[in-house]
Amino acid sequence: MAMGKRKRQRQDELWIATGEIATGPGSPFYAKLNGVLGKAGFDRWAEQRCAKFYAENIGRPGVPPGVYFRMIMIGYLEGIDSERGIAWRCADSLSLREFLGYTLTERTPDHSTLSVVRGRIDLETHQEVFCWILARLGEAGLLRGKTIGIDATTLEANAAMRSIIRRDTGEGYDEFLEQLAKESGIETPTREDLAKVDKKRKNKASNDDWQSPHDPDSKITKMKDGRTHLAHKAEHAVDMETGATVAVTIQPAHRGDTTTIGQTLRETMENLDEVSDDECRYEMREVVTDKGYHSNGVLRDLAAMELRSYASEPKRGRRNWKGKAAERDAVQANRRRIRGERGKRLLRTRGELVERPFAHCYETGRMRRTHLRGHDAILKRLLIHVGACNLSLLMRRLFGVGTPRTLQGLAAPALRVLSRLCQRLRLATARLCFHNFTGAMLRPWPRPTVRIA
């Protein structure tokens, strides 16, 4: 048999039968996920909710809502941050084409089409899709709603610090430094002179004086790694019994945790009311937070809402409670609860159950840096992104696999278990041989018998 060459002369065919086109074995994960969505009637439900955003009989049929939401879910499942990357991946993968419902001869939506559809469908509909996924979790027993853990993280904005301008005059940062240098006596400042002026100046970047012209919703903040960047703040409310994310909000990054928890609590209550029915009623009763949310006002408001708080208390020394009876009672009640067995257990598990969705959504899900601008656009993407994280929790309960990449790592744990079993078998065999050998050595020798004739 002669060796074939990749670069060879070939004659392209004019007509190709569909059955002769090369196909792949497909992805079992996406087939199962399509089965779950199809059984629950997701496409029909999404088309009914989004019918008001499309014309009835005029124009070319657009991208179906079920396809749009599936493509955003693929961003989480495949770990793709940009919509351009999602569109390229869907066009390149045979299994994703089948998941979206496109044949080999049909063209999948590109990134500009995703942007148009996202702008057409409003934020409330994206919130309804998130609640629809929550309802499926409730049917599978993955939603309790009693104990809720709340935490926040920063998302890097799609805007550079060099592009910020002053709110009052509209001048850029370099122009502002040049003006300061000229006022200090430097007529023609160089880049080195501007760097020295910037280093000596206090209050360099304040959100009260500066803003981004490209993304006004982004705020100057300090990231987790110590860098100063334009960012947004994402806050999650997580069910402490199942790990499901009940609510997600996008808020200005410069606001503290004590000022943003109110909106997240309201979203949590509304979502739990949305997925509740006559047979199952979800009601939030406990809130677990870290020490960043601990304040007199927050604990007082939680007590007024009849919610038990489990907030880590920072060391603040002696407190003056004169004229603050309600705050004193709330702080002392929270202190008693976190010192109990249940409080200690909740604070220990908070780091696991609340931080896990952050790792899945923003690290492996690649949403730590946003490619969209504006809180509404980012929240639309984030609601479906976190909803896909909840769907992976449902898939893990039903089939034992939460993402398609999990199938790639199933062989390694099995091989490790097999290797450990073989190692233990060899160790047990060696011990058995050693005991048999030492037993034979320590066994007394039979005394020789002397016969006297």
Q: What is the pLDDT of residue 341?
A: 96
Instruction: Identify the band that residue 4 occupies on the pLDDT scale cut at 50, 70 and 90.
Output: very low
Short-list 243, 244, 248, CA closest to 267? 248
112 pLDDT more than 80 = yes
Cβ atoms of residues 82 and 393 within 8 Å = no
Question: Mean pLDDT over residues 332-360, rounded?
Answer: 95
Question: Mean pLDDT over residues 4-16, rounded?
Answer: 60
Q: Please give the biggest Cα pair distance in the chain.
A: 131
Question: Mean pLDDT over residues 301-312, rounded?
Answer: 96
219 pLDDT more than 90 = yes
142 pLDDT more than 90 = yes
222 pLDDT more than 70 = yes
Q: What is the pLDDT of residue 449?
A: 58
Q: What is the pLDDT of residue 214?
A: 93
pLDDT per position as a tens digit, 82-109: 999 999 999 999 999 999 999 888 899 9
Cβ atoms of residues 154 and 231 within 8 Å = yes
Task: Calculate the average pLDDT of the chain.
Answer: 88
- Rounded Cα distance, 407 and 33, in Å: 14
Residues 6+ apart with CB under 8 A from 392: 76, 77, 360, 402, 403
The fraction of the chain above a pLDDT of 70, given in percent, is: 88
pLDDT per position as a tens digit, 354-391: 999 999 999 999 999 999 999 999 999 999 999 999 99
CATH topology for the 124-159+230-314+324-384 domain: Nucleotidyltransferase; domain 5 (3.30.420)
Cβ atoms of residues 162 and 229 within 8 Å = no
243 pLDDT more than 90 = yes
Question: Mean pLDDT over residues 202-207, rounded?
Answer: 75
Question: Mean pLDDT over residues 201-220, rounded?
Answer: 87
Q: What are the residues facing 231 on neighbouring strands? A: 156, 219
Q: Of the ranges 110-119, 194-203, 290-299, 370-379, which one carries the lowest mean pLDDT score?
A: 194-203
Burial 131-152 (b: 16+ CB within 10 A, else e): bbbbbbbbeeebbbbebbbbbb
More confident site: 404 or 416:
404
Q: What is the pLDDT of residue 407?
A: 59
Q: Of the ranges 141-155, 158-172, 177-191, 253-267, which one carries the lowest mean pLDDT score?
A: 177-191
Residue 23 dihedral angles phi and psi, to the nearest 5°: -125, 160
Cβ atoms of residues 395 and 33 within 8 Å = yes
Residues 6+ apart with CB under 8 A from 148: 237, 238, 239, 240, 246, 268, 284, 286, 287, 288
Burial class (CB in 10 A: 0-12, 13-18, 19+), 95: middle
Q: What is the pLDDT of residue 366?
A: 92
- Rounded Cα distance, 387 and 390, in Å: 5
Instruction: Identify the band that residue 408 occupies on the pLDDT scale cut at 50, 70 and 90.
Output: low
1 pLDDT more than 50 = no
79 pLDDT more than 80 = yes
pLDDT per position as a tens digit, 254-294: 999 999 999 999 999 999 999 998 788 899 999 999 999 99
Domain ranges of the chain: 24-121, 124-159+230-314+324-384, 165-204
Instruction: Identify the band that residue 427 occupies on the pLDDT scale cut at 50, 70 and 90.
Output: confident
More confident site: 444 or 41:
41
Q: What is the pLDDT of residue 238?
A: 98
Q: What is the pLDDT of residue 48?
A: 94
